[in-house]
Structure 1
Amino acid sequence: MTWFKDLLQSTPEIALFICLALGYAIGKVKVKGLSLGGIAGTLIVAIFVGMIGGITLNDQVKNIAFAMFIFTLGYMSGPSFFASLNKKSLRYGWFTLIEVVAVLSITAIAIVVLNLDIGTAAGLMAGGATESAVVGTATDAIAKLDLPPEQISALQANVGTAYSISYICGLITIVLLTSQIAPAVLRFNLRDEAAKLWQQLSKGHVDEDATTALPSVVGRAHEVSLAAGQTISQVESALGGRATVERVRRAGQIVDATPDTALAEGDVLVLYGLRSDLVQAYAVIGPEVADASGLDLELDVAEVLLTGKDVNGRTLSEVRAQAAQEHTGVYLTGLTRMEQGLPLQPGTTVNAGDVARISGAKKDVDAAAGRFGVRLNSAVKADFVFIAVGVILGMLIGKIVIPLGDIPLSLGTGGGCLLSGLLFGWIRAKNPKIGQYDPAAASVIKDLGLATFICAVGLSSGPAAVQLIQKFGFALPITGVLITLIPACISLFVAFKVMKLPAPLALGSVAGQQCSTPAITAVQQQAGNTTPLMAYTIVYALSNVVLPLLGPIVVAMANALS
């Protein structure tokens, strides 16, 4: 295998893609419903590949990858983060505060008791908090310490190794605690509690539009017999108000369809609306007909970034009521926040920065999109001018150093790009005609950037991994579990006993404070609906911003204590 070793040493970019391929393949493997995910899988593979020795990605590749990841993370979190800074949402900030205080406290104790070095301490905290971004901000902070280059490289390698160990332990702990252990110990049925909350959000309304993320919105053609002499508005009211007459054919000709248009026997109407309402059309209008020649209707589906001031903080029922008054024939078929689908229930709170999927006639959809936000242009994937300026600003912010005694405090590239990403994401939400960054494109850049950075860390960590594990033994995984378990248990107590939150929101908050997508996925599966996401998205937005900033803090703390 000498030729293979020589190949990877001479062409480390091949090693990068080997680690990505194998890492993501391992990350998909499920054991009793639990998988590591691609990032953790890539790190593990990279550590083993790195043990060959002499395989490294240069610092420029690592820094560029992390800058793109952390800027994109901030950009995607920005609208939700700032929308969460209100009285109603900020109470969920207690979960992020608990996470920050607890993980720093436990890490400080571990540094003193186990005599941890700076890199191991930072990696343990990052893995226990299941926040990969801390690896980048911590290694960036270590690079600025006044230490010999060899020692800095060794400490940075320890970050990756300690992170890989504690992340696996932390991931298993948080998934099992939120989805299995907490419901069993506290003696509640999560599916029943989620169903109760779903009913509360529905406010007693049976809403066909809320039963699925893709409601049954259909078109039908009916011949007027029973509705002869009635106006279009009377027919729409008789159908429940959630179906619209879009077009009228009379004697082979298309006539104007206004609310006051009187219908004559033999007219053929094109109806568009919810299936539950249109099944009654035969009893209100007349028989359904197959001949719809000349009645073809151009329907449209749009993704709308919600930006209107009168949308933020309002319930879905309030937004729908206003939309129904101003824009008939438009139907909400999906609502996402940070790429997470929210329940389409009347009591669901809408925030600026959420993305709504609406459907209807093209003219109606365009009007509604302009009223409540801006239609996302699927042809534009990324505004590279806007993004590049944001990354440059972040890098410049990261170069600012504030000396605290012998410790140089700096946000580094990671913290600087995170803050600039937040700012540019907020600017984009306020001025949606500039800076488009398609969610799918952003997700690819974010994942690829983090995976590349983690791979670089893993490759450099490989040679020192065995020594670090031999030095600390089981102390590393045990500490990793405690860093995850203790703040989660404290938060569960606060959620149930102090804040009196419903079980789905309590568990969603705990998953959010850990920024753990696998945990919220497991909770949602157990709940049987999307109610846990309502709390998860708020806490996730807060923790996703705050936790990466702990990298320089834990480095400074470890440097002072060790």
Structure 2
Amino acid sequence: MIGELLRSQPEIALFASLAIGYFIGSFRIGPIQLGGVCGTLIVALLLGQTGARLAPDLKNIAFALFIFALGFTGGPQFFANIGRGWRYGLLSVVEIVSVLALIMIAVAVMRLDAGTAAGLLAGAATESAVIGTASEAIAKLGFSDAETLRLQANIVTAYSVSYLFGLITIVLFTSQFAPLLLRVNLRDEAERVWRKLGGEGAYGEGQRAAAPALVGRAFHVGAAAGTTIRAFEQQYGFNLTVERVRRNGAEVPAEPQLTLAPGDVILVGGRREAIVAAAAGLGEEVDGAEFGQVMAEKLDVVLTRRDLHGLTVAQVRDQATPENGRGIYIAAVTRLETTVPALPGTELNRGDVLTLVGAKADVQRGAKLLGYMVVATQKTDFVYLGLGVLVGMAIGHLGGRVGGVSLALGTGGGCLLSGLLFGWIRSRYPVIGSLPSAAAQILKDFGLATFIAAVGLSAGPDAIKLVREYGLALPLAGILMVLVPGLLSLWIGRMFLKLEAPMLLGAIAGQQCSTPAISALVGVTGNSTPVIGYTITYALSNILLPLMGPVVVGLAGKFH
């Protein structure tokens, strides 16, 4: 009876797959968590045994929206990291080349068909988007409908089997085995790098420093009397700002040329370490409640200036004139929806979202100098979104033969490239193409989950056959496809690129597009230094791996 209901109303199967799948995916065993997408696929494979099917049009629309949003949000970072982030970017190239070589070896040794080979790539690399680009490529091979469905079902089954083992392997490799191979104490290394970048200590995931990095404190002026505000601020590298001055009970404008007098009460804001250092030379600290909150304004700004790309936070401050940089502090750096530590030694990329804090006039001045403000809006520019997807579909028709192998981007590859382009244009001309981050996230999450549920339902009946045919070979291949690129990157990154261990391991997690791996790393290191390497390789691999789906299908189809 349940099977008949699901066959007559497949939308029930869709939302059951989403609800139960995300519930299953939320459970965590140590650092391992399946996630909602894999959970949805497992439930869809089971419900697919009933014969429930979703319309192919729904599947195609969902994937087009997902892959366009993926490219759109990653576009600014992708183009920013091509060239200047070459040391980390090289690791993504290592990932692409090595997994392609391993896939071809697996095709020859295990005699894999095109669908199973593509599913192995998607699962071992934990990149779900490969399923869509590879499925489209198979549909263009000219096979019968039955053979096409069988190969597409093999993608999903091979993905589901190899994903779990690939996920466990990359988490354990980056957080446990690689530090042993490097012979380092990862927590000590991360704290050393944190201090090298200008941090004062290492704090664990979910913890905060005992005192915030940016503070405001009030003092009676003593030893600093007779010094101008500008000279006083310059003495501490402009890492603090005299925000307010009260003289004889009256407010005095805190102009840079103002000379501090004995008995003045001043409110100083800025980096905590600078204020602690200045406290001894100021005088007695007093209650500053009457001044109000010094760091009153917080503003998110997208960094667009080309000349600041690759500079550290400290170098950006040094470049600014005292007038332009005064009173502006970077409290946080967000890159690809991931928070990067905002330390003096942290390198900034075009497309980063900088959280500025300070007085309202100061942060607004800083926003104009650095890029453009992220305007809080819930409206999506559907003209821009629709045009972007249409352009992507047009690009998807491009294709040809390379060395006797037929290659076609398909809607997935086309929309991915279109999303990259439209996201980059949006970052350069922010007055057009509004796609709020929350809207982009729902397009990615719901689009991918709906697509995965649709392919899982259609693959249900063939899943058991493939598992019986290959047995343990698929899980073992998935493990090797994580270990070989990981070991190569570890060797190249340490011996030739001279990358710091925490950032190197973060980059290896990023080249595998593995969020659980970076979460486990942050937990082991006790701070967020691995995220610096992770964001660069994640941005590149998240774009390059889906484009490999049609390549694997073409090569496997030729040599199978």
- TM-score between the two structures when normalised by the length of structure 1: 0.91
Distance apart, 1:121 and its partner CA: 1.5
Residue 51 of structure 1 aligns to a residue in which SS? helix
Q: 1:391 aligns with which of 381, 389, 392?
A: 389
Which position in structure 2 is the counterpart of 1:118?
114
Between the aligned partners of 1:256 and 1:323, the Cα distance in structure 2 is 23
Between the aligned partners of 2:326 and 2:238, the Cα distance in structure 1 is 9
Which position in structure 1 is the counterpart of 2:501?
503
Are the counterparts in 2 of residues 386 and 435 from structure 1 also a CA contact under 8 Å?
Answer: yes
Between the aligned partners of 1:236 and 1:408, the Cα distance in structure 2 is 65
Deviates more, 1:75-84 or 1:225-234: 225-234
**Is 2:66 the partner of 1:56?**
no
**Is 2:328 the partner of 1:330?**
yes
Are the counterparts in 2 of residues 239 and 284 from structure 1 also a CA contact under 8 Å?
Answer: no
Which position in structure 1 is the counterpart of 2:32?
34
Between the aligned partners of 2:528 and 2:161, the Cα distance in structure 1 is 31
Distance apart, 1:407 and its partner CA: 5.8
Residue 357 of structure 1 aligns to a residue in which SS? strand
Residue 358 of structure 2 aligns to a residue in which SS? strand
Between the aligned partners of 1:421 and 1:300, the Cα distance in structure 2 is 33
Write out per-residue CA displacement over residues 470-518 of structure 1, whole angstroms, 9 at most, x where no aligned residue.
Answer: 1221122122222222222222222223333322232122212211111
Q: 1:301 aligns with which of 294, 298, 302?
A: 298
Q: 1:251 to 1:454 in 2, by over 3 A?
A: same
Q: 2:524 aligns with which of 526, 541, 561?
A: 526
Q: 1:79 to 1:261 in 2, by over 3 A?
A: same
Between the aligned partners of 1:133 and 1:110, the Cα distance in structure 2 is 21
Counterpart AA for 1:132: S
Structural mapping, 1:130-529, within 5 Å: 130-202=126-198, 215-222=212-219, 230-236=227-233, 241-250=238-247, 253-263=250-260, 267-278=264-275, 281=279, 284=282, 286-289=284-287, 292=290, 299-323=296-320, 325=322, 326-380=324-378, 382-403=380-401, 408-529=406-527
Which position in structure 2 is the counterpart of 1:84?
81
Between the aligned partners of 2:164 and 2:181, the Cα distance in structure 1 is 23
Residue 350 of structure 1 aligns to a residue in which SS? coil
Distance apart, 1:309 and its partner CA: 1.7
Counterpart AA for 2:175: S
Write out per-residue CA displacement over residues 187-215 of structure 1, whole angstroms, 9 at most, x where no aligned residue.
Answer: 3211122223223333xx85999x96994
Percent identity over the alignment is 49
Between the aligned partners of 1:372 and 1:207, the Cα distance in structure 2 is 28
Residue 434 of structure 2 aligns to a residue in which SS? coil
Distance apart, 1:278 and its partner CA: 4.5
Distance apart, 1:238 and its partner CA: 6.6
Between the aligned partners of 1:453 and 1:115, the Cα distance in structure 2 is 28
**Is 2:97 the partner of 1:101?**
yes
Number of equivalent positions: 554
Are the counterparts in 2 of residues 235 and 285 from structure 1 also a CA contact under 8 Å?
Answer: no
Which position in structure 2 is the counterpart of 1:12?
10
Distance apart, 1:524 and its partner CA: 2.1
Between the aligned partners of 2:244 and 2:499, the Cα distance in structure 1 is 48
Which position in structure 1 is the counterpart of 2:545?
547
Which runs of 5 or more structure 2 residues have no equivalent in the other structure? Answer: none
Between the aligned partners of 2:29 and 2:242, the Cα distance in structure 1 is 52
Are the counterparts in 2 of residues 353 and 429 from structure 1 also a CA contact under 8 Å?
Answer: yes
Between the aligned partners of 1:527 and 1:290, the Cα distance in structure 2 is 37
Are the counterparts in 2 of residues 208 and 215 from structure 1 also a CA contact under 8 Å?
Answer: no
Deviates more, 1:482-491 or 1:223-232: 223-232
Q: 1:129 to 1:291 in 2, by over 3 A?
A: closer
Deviates more, 1:364-373 or 1:405-414: 405-414
Between the aligned partners of 1:459 and 1:309, the Cα distance in structure 2 is 47
Q: 1:207 to 1:233 in 2, by over 3 A?
A: farther
Residue 407 of structure 2 aligns to a residue in which SS? strand
Which runs of 5 or more structure 1 residues have no equivalent in the other structure? Answer: none
Between the aligned partners of 2:558 and 2:183, the Cα distance in structure 1 is 44
Residue 218 of structure 1 aligns to a residue in which SS? strand
Q: 1:460 to 1:291 in 2, by over 3 A?
A: closer
Counterpart AA for 1:375: M
Q: 1:290 to 1:469 in 2, by over 3 A?
A: closer
Between the aligned partners of 1:497 and 1:141, the Cα distance in structure 2 is 38
Residue 302 of structure 1 aligns to a residue in which SS? strand
Write out per-residue CA displacement over residues 46-70 of structure 1, whole angstroms, 9 at most, x where no aligned residue.
Answer: 11111122x1121121111111111
Between the aligned partners of 1:111 and 1:416, the Cα distance in structure 2 is 27
Distance apart, 1:446 and its partner CA: 1.2
Between the aligned partners of 1:163 and 1:507, the Cα distance in structure 2 is 24
Q: CA RMSD in A?
A: 2.7
Residue 301 of structure 1 aligns to a residue in which SS? strand
Q: 2:124 aligns with which of 96, 121, 128?
A: 128
Counterpart AA for 1:128: A
Are the counterparts in 1 of residues 169 and 479 from structure 2 also a CA contact under 8 Å?
Answer: yes
Are the counterparts in 1 of residues 220 and 283 from structure 2 also a CA contact under 8 Å?
Answer: yes
Counterpart AA for 2:536: I
